[in-house]
A and B are shown apart, each in its own frame.
Chain A
């Protein structure tokens, strides 16, 4: 369990660093895909609620320290997304294209809804997605398209490490 948490955290840290340094180069009209979110969704789906939520919290904290968002904002949003993703653990079959595509899109919407909830709770002192904005829908589409490839790459990588398919008890 601890080893999985550590491994997942290291993967998320590497992906977050890639996100902040390289991913801006592939932004479309200012919107970039959220690679750490997609990786988190896969890890949470695979590892269940306890580990998934913990990884969501860690990933969110990393986002917060690299962003102008107040500490805790990303942690809340990503913990929520990871928890929702982990609820699907064992409840559905993850194919190679359609389900990753749907998860990529729906979890981006879930992220936006979680940030909206925080904005309501903190009376507008925080930023939330504008559901009518171009950037939001480009990100939804981008994440949906990128998710199948990322899921496939993660599956291959973890299989190579001999860890895939071992559910957490």
Chain B
């Protein structure tokens, strides 16, 4: 019943339903653990929409500024590439022969060429606002089939390396936590000797990664420059993805295991595009894996 005199009572009545609705939603968010991430997801989706615009403007300005110098460089590249094309023609013929031979040998060994992952390309549109945490925002989200905990990779200098994993998936944007973030931990192994360890980030984009809990026995077989790959244990990341190369091995007497400093295989400051590894194939049904995605735009 509205207050006939109007004023405060009337205002309270007018806003009471809205207050009660908001209170109910808050109760729902707190009591339902599955909805505890709802505010962050909605917030990320909303801000991500504008972030795409800002990113596009920045890219346009940067590209225009660099276009002139780029043209000159491209002309030089064009001439040298013509030369290289001739050489590559010859190499291509050799390659076709080798590939056919390789296929035949693989068939004999019974290897499968099908992969358990489909790679969905995404562009990096933003990075963490502060220096304390490290996150990367990409322009693909749940509408593209991306789900939380999906691994993210990137190609750089001809090598595919692990970037990190999706920690939040909004409607059209997702937040990725990179390997160098302090909260990141990847089950890793030395590619050559197959010793296992846990690779963690140290926070800074310029910092090395740290591989811990490696058996001391590995000291005889590991050396600087050796490749470190994902082990695939835990099924969050695919096995044998390049993570980095050994930079320094620390063998402290009071520790039961080795600490290995690892130089990331990817230069994170140069990353522009990444691939989200959405699951496909028979492994997608394995227990412990993130839900199978239905990507909207596979490469």
Which residues of A does B touch, CB under 8 Å? Answer: 13, 16-22, 24-25, 27, 29-32, 34, 36, 61-69, 71, 74, 115, 127-129, 133, 135-136, 139
Contacts and interface: CB of A to CB of B under 8 A. Distances in A.
Contacts of B193: none
A21 B59 CA distance: 9
A32 B130 CA distance: 8
A67 B62 CA distance: 25
Contacts of A129: 132
Nearest to A31: B131
Contacts of B206: 29-30
Interface stretch (B7-15, B36-44, B79-87, B106-114): B36-44
B291 interface: no
Interface in B107-132: 125-132
A135 B177 CA distance: 19
Contacts of B135: 66-68
A65 B44 contact: yes
SS class, residues of chain B in contact with chain A: mixed
A13 B50 contact: yes
B298 interface: no
A50 B58 CA distance: 35
A162 B173 CA distance: 37
Contacts of A115: 132
Nearest to A15: B129
A68 B183 contact: yes
B281 to A, nearest CB: 30
Interface of A is mostly: helix
Contact of B137 (A13, A20, A22, A136): A20
B131 A20 contact: no
B167 A68 contact: yes
Contacts of B20: none
A29 B269 CA distance: 10
Given A30-B204, A63-B130, A68-B133, 20 more contacts: A13-B47, A13-B50, A17-B50, A18-B54, A19-B129, A20-B54, A20-B127, A20-B137, A25-B58, A30-B206, A64-B40, A65-B40, A66-B51, A66-B126, A67-B128, A67-B129, A68-B181, A69-B130, A115-B132, A129-B132
Contacts of A21: 51, 54-55, 58, 125-127
Interface string B46-90: 010011001100100010000000000000000000000000000
B182 interface: yes
B163 to A, nearest CB: 14
B289 interface: no
Contact of A66 (B58, B134, B175, B183): B175
25 contacts: A13-B50, A16-B47, A17-B54, A17-B126, A19-B129, A21-B54, A21-B55, A24-B127, A29-B206, A30-B204, A30-B269, A34-B131, A62-B47, A63-B129, A65-B43, A66-B51, A67-B133, A68-B167, A68-B181, A71-B39, A74-B130, A127-B203, A133-B204, A135-B203, A139-B131
Contacts of A62: 43, 47, 129
B45 to A, nearest CB: 9
Contacts of A67: 128-130, 133, 135, 175
Nearest to B205: A30
Contacts of A71: 39-40
A166 to B, nearest CB: 27
A75 to B, nearest CB: 11
B132 to A, nearest CB: 5
B175 A68 contact: yes
Contacts of B55: 21
